[in-house]
């Protein structure tokens, strides 16, 4: 399971960097804490479906683009 969280986090980070968006900005738009964004990107947490959808929306992509 940890492998999936890491791959999801990598996809979030890659998309965020492609857009040139900071973790602070992503957190604000997705309405989550900035430290939580960092933990997601490092694969340290299992994200709920609700948060995954919010992140995808904030990153302007489909949730499938973030899933391994």
pLDDT over 90 at 15, yes or no: yes
pLDDT over 90 at 2, yes or no: no
Q: What integer pLDDT is reported at residue 59 of this predicted model?
A: 97
Topology of 2-60 in CATH? 434 Repressor (Amino-terminal Domain) (1.10.260)
Q: CA 2 to CA 23: how far, in whole Å?
A: 21
Instruction: For the full predicted model, state whether its pTM sits above 0.85.
Output: yes
Q: CA 37 to CA 43: how far, in whole Å?
A: 10
pLDDT over 80 at 1, yes or no: no
């Amino acid at each position: 399971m940890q492998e999936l969280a890491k791959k999801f986090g990598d996809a979030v980070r890659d998309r965020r960097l492609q857009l040139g968006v900071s973790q602070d900005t992503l957190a604000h738009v997705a309405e989550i804490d900035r430290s939580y964004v960092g933990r997601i990107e490092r694969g340290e947490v299992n994200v709920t479906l609700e948060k995954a959808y919010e992140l995808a929306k904030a990153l302007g992509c489909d949730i499938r683009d973030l899933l391994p």
